[in-house]
Structure 1
Amino acid sequence: MCNILHILRYSSVLCNILLKFSLFIYFMSQSSSVLQHVGTNIRSLRDEHSLSQQDLADRAGVSRRTIAALETGQVNISLAKLDAIAAVLGVDFRTIVSAPEHKEHALVNALAWQGEKEESKATFLASVPSRSQIELWTWSLAVGESYVAEADAEGWQELIYVLEGELTIQFTDSSRTIAAGSSFIFASSVTYTYINSGSQVLKFIRNVVY
């Protein structure tokens, strides 16, 4: 039987916070730099709201020079300040850091913060809308073990991030294998099974969004 280590339940007021920060996990090698998109998004949204760089800076509590540098991809801003800019522009954090083609349900996979050293970084992996609550789980499955899940209610979703091993999710007509360091989003309103078909203990993070 699977070993469920921890279950944390968050109320609706924490949904946005959890979506932003529970997914800032270890850097994935295929990540694209957030600075590729932030500048374009800020310029576009600022134009939509008829705001000058100074107007946006004043409302977000940053300098005009910071806004100008962001729009040309020349500055690495703190997550809190970037969130404040997004709020002034009337969008969520995901929208400000994502490529323009990403829609509501998105594996974003964007490098959102880079420290002075290469090993220091934060990657925003994914985002989905939520109505009321999010559950954050850590799971482990021994080699050859599986867990059969009942279908959730319509509208429920899961965000998976594999820490160690390899997770196979079996659906009725298909399956998906997720390697360590990779993410996956799926609608959980169907029957599915978690399977550890690898050669080592499987560990993964599971976010249930509804």
Structure 2
Amino acid sequence: MTDLDQLTQSLARNLKRWRAERGYTLDALAARAGVSRGMIIQIEQARTNPSVGTTVKLADALGVSITTLLDYEQGPQVRVVGPGEAVRMWSTEAGSHTTLLVGAEAPGPFELWDWRLMPGDESASDPHPPGATELIHVAEGELTLVVDGTEHRVPAGSSVTFEAKVAHAYRNDGDEPVLMTMAVSIPLGH
């Protein structure tokens, strides 16, 4: 593979990755960058090698440096957090607890939590910054998720996502523990 082929492949991979991380559709990125949707598709499929100007526009629209967008030598950064390294953040005498499993700063704080919520227990949260998102998967029990005063039942095997910019709470109204995993993403700069 030539250097140009490697660069084209790297740009395709990185553009897809950063667009997904930012949550941009093809149309949204095209509008932000002033680059046609068709050009972005061709770049993401590694069918074209765009001009430097187009690449700079895309990098600016994604909020990354052109170096980051073109980088193909730096491998993925991996950090393994062993069971003994996870951080217990909250617990009650009844046995409820949360554990921060792992976190990252891409593009802002991004955390993965393990929750055990005992029957009758509740944990309330203040609003997070605008743009914050939470994703929850309930493995056992039934979670009562309260978002901005509205209750949502989330049974075992179900997942839920919500904008966490309003007050919210996690409650177990059942008679068995709720076991769930939660991911929290806070936008950059908050």
TM-score w.r.t. the length of structure 2 is 0.46
Q: Does 1 or 2 have the higher relative contact order (CA < 8 Å, sep 6+)?
A: 1
Structure label with greater radius of gyration? 2
TM-score w.r.t. the length of structure 1 is 0.42
